[in-house]
Amino acid sequence: MKVPEQVIVHPLVLLSVVDNYNRVAQNTRKRVVGVLLGEVKKGVVHVTNSYAVPFEEDENDGGIWFMDYTYHENMYAMFRKINAREVVVGWYSTGPRLRDADLEINQLMTKYCKQPLLVIVDVKPKGDGIPIKAYCAVDEVKEDGTERAKKIFVHIASEVGAHEAEEIGVEHLLRDVKDATISTLSTEVSNRLSALGDLGKYLEDIKCYLGMVIEGKLPINHEIMYNLQEAFNLMPNLNVEEVDKAFAVKTNDMMMAMYIASLVRSVIALHNLINNKEGRMSASNAASDAKPKRTEPAKKVEETKA
């Protein structure tokens, strides 16, 4: 069977793998293993779903391992009832590297798909880049023919991709994850800057595409042109004086509200600081008054007159 050209892992799979690791092997040297589901389109494997499988291995001897394939068969039968288009495309491991038993596990997975993939997910990434690596087992034959063919893993190009519905869900999920130590104003400003940066990238892509169409390097796609025209029609005409004035008034109102809110916040913080200082001074004075006073020794009786 031909080796896939590319592997696209969807966000739901990454979330499932991380959740499996945190439940089973967090703060340990163990790894977790599971099955990948998806479909193959024009040489590209789309990994859209996954589920964990009970797995154990000897830390001292990598050749001793156990994988509950009966559990896998029952789970796969239930997943097939929900979505018959998703088939077994391989298996995943949290690695973070290839292990001695991976070829044997991969050979076991050939029972369920002809060319199983191995996707290693780094649950604790230390640098930039995507935290996944995809491999496929192929036969290695010596040129002189002195040895029998054996399986080796070859690297396959991989990336993280999502459908439109998944992108919307991930955006909502990230939007709900807030850091309590960051003020709301700072968060809003960061979100606006990030959105403007993304908008600039999209506009650059549009400019590049239109330039290539004008030069004749790309054919005209009428669907893209219709969408661009619709986007431009939805934009307000800022050349109208009334619209420009309305935008300015609204911006000034918003800035005034933010300025007043910042002043109120500062006044409240100073008020709490003064109250705290007064409370500590009162407590200190009360503690000093409660201590028993030391009495001076009685003066000696004057000596008897001579």
Interval 209-248: pLDDT, tens: 999 999 988 888 888 889 888 888 887 776 777 777 888 8
Question: Would you say 14 and 161 are in contact if contact means Cβ atoms under 8 Å apart?
Answer: no
Q: Same domain for 22 and 160?
A: yes
Choose among 122, 163, 178: nearest CA to 12: 163
The dihedral built from the CA positions of residue 214, 219, 222 and 223, taken in this order, carries a sign that is: negative
Q: Same domain for 155 and 229?
A: no
- The pLDDT confidence band at residue 86, using thresholds 50, 70 and 90, is very high
Q: Same domain for 156 and 83?
A: yes
Q: Same domain for 249 and 146?
A: no
Interval 97-141: pLDDT, tens: 888 889 999 999 999 998 999 999 998 887 777 889 999 998 877
Choose among 141, 138, 133: nearest CA to 154: 138
Residue 54 domain-assigned (yes or no):
yes
Instruction: Give the helix/strand (H/E) hosting 205.
Output: helix 184-214
Q: Same domain for 11 and 149?
A: yes
- The pLDDT confidence band at residue 198, using thresholds 50, 70 and 90, is confident
Q: Same domain for 102 and 200?
A: no
Q: What pLDDT does residue 34 have?
A: 95
Number of domains in the chain: 3
| Phi, psi (degrees; rounded to nearest 5) at 264 | -60, -40
Q: Same domain for 198 and 223?
A: yes
Name the residue range of residue 208's domain: 180-235
- Which of 235, 251, 270 corresponds to the end of one domain? 235
Choose among 78, 86, 80, 95: nearest CA to 34: 95
Distance, CA of 154 to CA of 3 (rounded, Å): 9
More confident residue, 151 or 37: 37
Question: Would you say 78 and 113 are in contact if contact means Cβ atoms under 8 Å apart?
Answer: no
Question: What one-letter code names the amino acid at 193?
Answer: L
Asked if the model's pLDDT at residue 201 lies above 60, the reply is yes
DSSP string, 41-107: ETTEEEEEEEEEE-EEE-SS-TT-EEE-HHHHHHHHHHHHHH-TT-EEEEEEE--SS--TTHHHHHH
Residue 210 domain-assigned (yes or no):
yes
